[in-house]
Amino acid sequence: MLAFLNRYKYYLIAGLGTWVLLVVHKLSIAQHMHANPDLILLHEGLADIILFSFFFANILLVRQVVKDGKDRSPQHLLRILLVTGIVGGVVVSYLRWYLAEYENTTQELLTMPVIEAIMLLVLVVFLFTGIYTFRRFVFYTGTRVNTVLWTLFEIVLGVGLLIIFENPFYFIAEWIKVALLACSLILIFYFSVFTRWVAYLTLKQKLTSIFLLALTILILLLLLYEEGVFSQDFGSLIHEYFFYRYFILGVAALFIASYSLFSILVLIFNLPTGFVFEKTRKDLVSIQKIQQSIIPGLAREGAARTLLEASILSSNANAGWIELENYKGEEDSITPFLCSGIELDDAVLLKQNLNLRKLVLDNRKIIQWNDLKRDYPQNPLNRRFRSMMVVPIQTRYANIGAMFLVQDQSFAFTDENQGVIKSFSDQAAIAMENITLTEKSLELERYREQLAIARQMQMKLYPSRFPDTEYLSVFARNQQAESVGGDYYDILHTEPGVFKIIIGDVAGKGTTAAFYMAQVKGMFQSLARTTASPQRFLNLMNQAISSCMDTGTFVTMTYIHLDLNQSKAWIARGGHCPTLFYHASDKKLVWMMEGGLALGMVRNASFADHIFVQELTVQAGDRLFLLTDGLVEARNDAGEEYDYDRFLSAAEKGLLLTPEAHANAIIEEVEQFTGAFIEDDYTLMILEIKRNSYNFPSV
C-alpha cells in the first residue's frame, strides 16, 4: 500500500484535491440557494472549471493505475473491475439509503452535496477502470492500427470533456457535438468486435469470463440507476449524457456495455473451441518432442537460427536475437550471436549493459517486460520497442544461452506465447547440446590423437638403450602423470671410461613441460660433448635456458661426470632432488645434499656463484640413485609424503638385486604407500659400477 501511495502520490493528490473542491463548491451552492438564488449563476462558471478538473485528474489517475498493472489474465482483470464496481455499488447504495432517512430535512440539504460528489466519484472510477481494462483486452494481440485508433478515441474523449463548459457564456456548435458522438460510436463498435483474446482461453476460462462480464453489466446498470440516470425521460437522458456536460460519462458507459455484450456473444459462440485449443496446444508440444530427433542434425548455428525464426513467427514479435554461452572455454562476450530484425548495436543498447542472459539462466525461467517505456525510461529504444521477453535456452545439465524477443506494443506477449516459446527453446536446447557434445567429442578425440603422437615423439627423446659395457650397469624407469610430461634423463658415453649422466625436471606438467624437456635434451647433447667441467656445464645450461625459455620457467637438474679411469664422480646439483650414493665398501647409503639453484631462476652471471660440485671416489659395487620429486613427494590418503627417509629404507632392502629389479622394488613400495599409482611425473635411475679398472675398451 505504501508503495502504491508513493508511486501515484501526485495523481492521488490531484484526484482527491479536485474532489474536495467539488464537495466544497456543492456545499456552498446549497447554503446560498435559498438565501439568494441569483448567486447560483455567479457560481456556474466556477462549477464548470471544478467539474472539468475533477474529471480530468481522476481519469488520469485511473488510466495510469490500470495501464501499470502487470497481470494480463482476462479473468484477473475482470475480477479487479468487479471488485471496484461492487465496492462502489455498496457505497452508493448505502449513501442512497442514508439520504432517504433524512428526506425533506435541513440535514438533507447539507449531506446531499457530499453524497452526490461521492456517487459521482464512484461512477467515474468504475467507468474508466472499465475502459482501460477493456483496452488491455483490445491490445491482447495489439497492432499499430489499434494504437492509432485508441489514441484518436482518447482525443475524442478529451474534446468531449470540454462540453462541460457549455453554458450561456460559452458555445459549442451542435454539429461538433454530433461529430464527436458519431466518431465515438464508430470507435466503440470497432473496439467492441476486437475480441481476439477469447481464442486463447480454455473452456473453463471462457465460462468464467462470461459470468464476470455479465456481472460487470449488472454493476454498471446498478451504478447508473443509483446515479438517477434512469429516472430521467429519454430526451433528457440523451441530452445530459451525450450532448452536455456528462458526455464523457455517457460514452464510457456505452463502451463498457457494448464491449461486454460483444465479448459475451463471442465467448458463447466460441465455447466449442475451448476443447480444440487445449488439444492443439498439447499436439504442438508432442510434435516438437518428436522433431527433437531431426533438428540435432543441423549445425549449432542452424539450430539457433531455426529457434529464433520460429519464436518470432509464433509470438508475432518484431525482432529478436540470441546470445549463446561460450562453450569452447574462450573469453566470454555478451555480444549477441544472432540477430533478426534488429541491429547488433541496438540489441546491446536495449539491454542497457545488463547481463540478462545470466539472469534468466540462473533463474531458469522466462523474464518479461510489458512496458519498457515505464520500466526503462532512460533507454533511447523504449519508444521503438515496448515489450521484451527473455527466454533461457538450457537443459538440465547445460546452459546454452538466451533468446530475446521484442515487440513495438506494450503487453505484447501472452502466457500462451511463453508456453509455446518455452517448448521451442527446450527443443532447441537439447539439439544444440547434442551438437556441442558431438563437437567436443570430436575435438577430444583429435586432442587424444595429438597427445598420442606427442607421447610417441617424447618417448623417442629418452635413450632407447644405455651404454652396454661390462663396467657400468644402468636402468631407468619413468612415468608421466599425463600423456606427456617434463621429466628427463639421459646418459652419454663420450670416451673410454667416461660417462655424462643427467636427470632433470621441467616445472609444470603436460605439453608445455614436454616441449621444454625436448629443448633440454638438445642442450645436453650439445654441451655435454664439449665440456668436461660440471660447473661449466651447469653455467652454460643456465645461459641457454634463460635465453630460450619464458621468464618464470625453470628446470631442476642433477649432472654427473663419471670418470672410471680415475675412479671418480663429480656431482653438480641445480635445485634438484639429492642423489643417493651407496658405498659398497662401507655398505652405507648417503644423500648427496650439496645445494644449488634451479636453472632459469637466476638469469645472469651470478648463477655461477650458486653452483656446487661434490667429488666422490667410486669402485666396483657402488650405486648411484637419481630420482625426481614425484617419488619422494607421493602422498597417501592421510596426506603424508613418502619422503627421503622412506626412500632410503626401501633402497637398503634391494642392494643385492640387479638395478632393474632394485628400481622396480622401490617403485612398488611407493605405490603400496600411496594405495594407488603414483599421480605425479617420476623418474628413477640406478647406476651400478660393475668393475673398477683402468683398462677400458675403445668406444
Q: Which residue has the cell 628413477?
A: 684
Classify residue 238 as exposed, middle or buried by CB count within 10 Å of its CB (0-12, 13-18, 19+): middle
Residues in contact with 686: Cβ distance below 8 Å, sequence separation at least 6, in sequence order: 474, 475, 476, 623, 624, 625, 626, 659, 662, 663
Query: Confidence class of residue 648 from pLDDT cuts 50, 70 and 90?
Result: very high
Average pLDDT, stretch 19-23? 81
| Angle, helices 144-161/247-269, rounded to nearest 10 degrees | 150
Q: Is the pLDDT of residue 37 over 60?
A: no
The dihedral built from the CA positions of residue 132, 138, 141 and 142, taken in this order, carries a sign that is negative
The dihedral built from the CA positions of residue 344, 350, 355 and 356, taken in this order, carries a sign that is negative
- pTM check: above 0.85: no
Q: Is the pLDDT of residue 332 over 60?
A: no
Residue 597 gets which letter from DSSP? P
The dihedral built from the CA positions of residue 574, 577, 583 and 588, taken in this order, carries a sign that is positive
Q: Mind listing the pLDDT tens digit for each residue in 354-399?
A: 778 888 888 888 988 888 888 777 777 777 888 889 999 888 888 8
Q: Are 648 and 593 in contact (CB under 8 A)?
A: no
Please list the residues that pair with 541 across neighbouring strands: none
Please list the residues that pair with 571 across neighbouring strands: 560, 614
Q: Mind listing the pLDDT tens digit for each residue in 654-676?
A: 899 999 999 999 999 999 998 87
Amino acid at 149: L
Annotate 171-216 with DSSP letters as a single string: ---HHHHHHHHHHHHHHHHHHHT--GGGGG--HHHHHHHHHHHHHH
Distance CA 477, CA 663 (A): 7
Q: Mind listing the pLDDT tens digit for each residue in 93-137?
A: 777 676 666 555 555 556 777 777 888 888 888 888 888 888 888
Q: Are 579 and 626 in contact (CB under 8 A)?
A: yes
Residue 396 gets which letter from DSSP? S
Q: Mind listing the pLDDT tens digit for each residue in 45-94?
A: 677 788 888 888 888 888 888 877 766 677 788 888 888 878 877 877 77
Mapped onto helix, strand or coil, the DSSP state of residue 141 is coil
Average pLDDT, stretch 173-196? 85
Torsion of CA 340, 341, 346, 347, to 10 degrees: -40
Give the pLDDT score at 39: 47
What residue segments make up the domains of the chain, in order of their start?
A: 2-271, 293-439, 462-689
The dihedral built from the CA positions of residue 617, 619, 623 and 627, taken in this order, carries a sign that is positive
Q: Mind listing the pLDDT tens digit for each residue in 552-563?
A: 788 999 999 999
Burial readout 89-117 (b: 16 or more C-beta within 10 A, e: otherwise): bebbeebeeebeeeeeeeeeeebbbbbbb
Which stretch, 86-90, 206-210, 282-286, has highest mean pLDDT?
206-210
Q: Is the pLDDT of residue 647 over 90?
A: yes
Distance CA 537, CA 517 (A): 17
Give the pLDDT score at 168: 46
Q: What angle do CA 612, 616, 621 make, to 5 degrees?
A: 145
| Overall fold of domain 462-689 | Phosphatase 2c; domain 1 (3.60.40)
Average pLDDT, stretch 177-193? 88
Q: Are 504 and 527 in contact (CB under 8 A)?
A: no
The domain made up of 293-439 is a member of CATH 3.40.630.30: no
Give the pLDDT score at 294: 45
Q: What's the 3-state SS for 45-110?
A: HHHHHHHHHHHHHHHHHHHHHHHCCCCCCHHHHHHHHHHHHHHHHHHHHHHHHHHHHCCCCHHHHH
Q: Is the pLDDT of residue 329 over 60?
A: no
